[in-house]
Chains A and B, each alone.
Chain A
Amino acid sequence: QKEVEQDPGPLSVPEGAIVSLNCTYSNSAFQYFMWYRQYSRKGPELLMYTYSSGNKEDGRFTAQVDKSSKYISLFIRDSQPSDSATYLCAMKPYGGSQGNLIFGKGTKLSVKP
């Protein structure tokens, strides 16, 4: 079993839809959870950053962490065509350096106008 599993998609939704992106993981030591957005041929851009369990909201984006289930989610409300990108989850243990950051493969999202 890989440390971080993420459905690669592609996921296609109509504009205005609520998008749910998910990752599962196996390492219970992971404490920091991040979501990155990566446009085609560009570097990843940090969207959300969460420590331990709980929810975090930022505009149209909500990140959820359920450590008991080893499951994290990113919700996008009122999705826009500009949200079309690949979304990568990433996580690392407490005290871990950036070198311990483990990425999912990314889910490719397409929002159709």
Chain B
Amino acid sequence: GAVVSQHPSRVICKSGTSVKIECRSLDFQATTMFWYRQFPKQSLMLMATSNEGSKATYEQGVEKDKFLINHASLTLSTLTVTSAHPEDSSFYICSASPGTGGGNTIYFGEGSWLTVV
């Protein structure tokens, strides 16, 4: 079964509103979680690294004020898309690993489809 859970799996929102996506590690604690975005027929692009108890680290070109990340516990990270616009419509995926070592297996959530109308 899934070890990383995302919710909601699909959400439609109106332009200008905010949407929150949750990512939970079910069987392990994760001090770090990662958020990706995937456009149709494109690869996964890392948006940010979510660090428990501290600020997230954003990749170049990703607006930190638009994509708010909160990693309040060792099993939960949230991504909030603020003032969403149609161009934010995409597939958002989180991932986590049971450890920090380079050889640890990386698990992905089921993904969240966001459609902004």
Contacts and interface: CB of A to CB of B under 8 A. Distances in A.
Interface residues of B, number: 27
A8 B41 contact: yes
Interface in A30-57: 31-32, 34, 36, 41-46, 49, 51
Contacts of A103: 43-44
Interface residues of A, number: 27
A96 interface: yes
A41 B110 CA distance: 8
Nearest to B45: A103
Contacts of B95: 98
Contacts, number: 59
A32 B44 contact: no
Interface stretch (B12-20, B64-72, B73-81, B101-109): B101-109
B8 to A, nearest CB: 13
A104 B45 CA distance: 10
A92 B46 CA distance: 13
Given A42-B110, A44-B93, A46-B106, A97 B100 contact: yes
B34 A43 contact: no
Contacts of B96: 98
A34 B106 CA distance: 10
16 contacts: A41-B91, A42-B110, A43-B4, A43-B93, A49-B105, A51-B103, A97-B49, A98-B34, A98-B97, A98-B106, A101-B46, A101-B106, A103-B44, A104-B43, A105-B43, A106-B43
Contacts of B43: 88, 103-106
A95 to B, nearest CB: 5
Contact of B105 (A44, A46, A95, A104): A46
